[in-house]
Structures are given as C-alpha cells and as structure tokens.
C-alpha cells in the first residue's frame, strides 16, 4: 500500500492558526480550540494512506479536491505522485479562490 507525505502550505498553516483563534474566542477555552485543531490535523494525516477522496474540482484548479470535516471545515488539497499538498483549510463557509483568479 502506498504512503503519501502530507504537506501543509503556509496558507493552510495560517488557516489553522485562524481557526484556533476563532474557536478559542467563541468557546473561551484554549483546550477546546487546541483539541479541535488537533482533530483537523489527525483527519488530514489520514490522507497519508487514502488521499483520493472528496469532490474533484478541476474547474477551479486541475487536481483540486475538497473534502469536509465535522460539518464546519473544508480541506482543499491536491494529490501529487508522492505527497498530498493541503492548500487551504477553510472554516464555516469560506471559499477557495484559485490562484489563477
């Protein structure tokens, strides 16, 4: 079985920091925010074995896939020959904008 390396772009890492901040403010709990971001990271880590999931969005960007997490997060990513590149981690209805737009 093939294993893929998981790589988060700087923008995806920034998305996680923003999600942490938002959840911390809303919940008034650093622990709740930390646990939520940890669950997202665990979910994304699962792409190591089975990356070809979610909806293919070639009309936005070739090879782009988007998959939901816990009804509030959308993960935008591409599967490359040896790695899965997490492009964005969008919270609560944010939209992915193509770099070509």
Q: Domains, the chain, ranges and CATH?
A: 5-91 (3.30.2310.20)
Tokens of residue 29, six digits: 């709990």
Q: Could you say which DSSP state residue 49 is in?
A: T
Is this prediction's pTM over 0.85?
Answer: yes
Mean pLDDT across 8-18? 97
pLDDT at 1: 79
pLDDT for 84-101, tens place per residue? 999 999 998 655 554 433
pLDDT for 28-77, tens place per residue? 999 999 999 999 999 999 999 999 999 999 999 999 999 999 999 999 99
> How far is 88 from 101, CA to CA, in rounded Å?
16
CB 66 within 8 A of CB 57: yes
Place of tokens 């944010």: 94
Task: Name 79's bridge partners.
Answer: 84
Closest to 33 in 3D by CA, of 23, 18, 43: 23
């Amino acid at each position: 079985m093939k294993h893929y390396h998981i790589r988060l772009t700087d923008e995806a890492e920034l998305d996680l920091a923003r999600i942490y901040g938002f959840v911390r403010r809303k919940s008034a709990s650093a622990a709740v925010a930390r646990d939520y971001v940890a669950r997202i990271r665990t979910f994304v880590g699962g792409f190591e074995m089975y990356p070809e999931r979610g909806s293919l969005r070639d009309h936005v960007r070739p090879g782009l896939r988007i998959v939901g997490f816990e009804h509030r997060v959308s993960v935008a990513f591409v599967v490359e020959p040896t790695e899965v590149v997490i492009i964005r981690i969008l919270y609560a209805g944010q939209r992915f904008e193509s770099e070509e737009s």
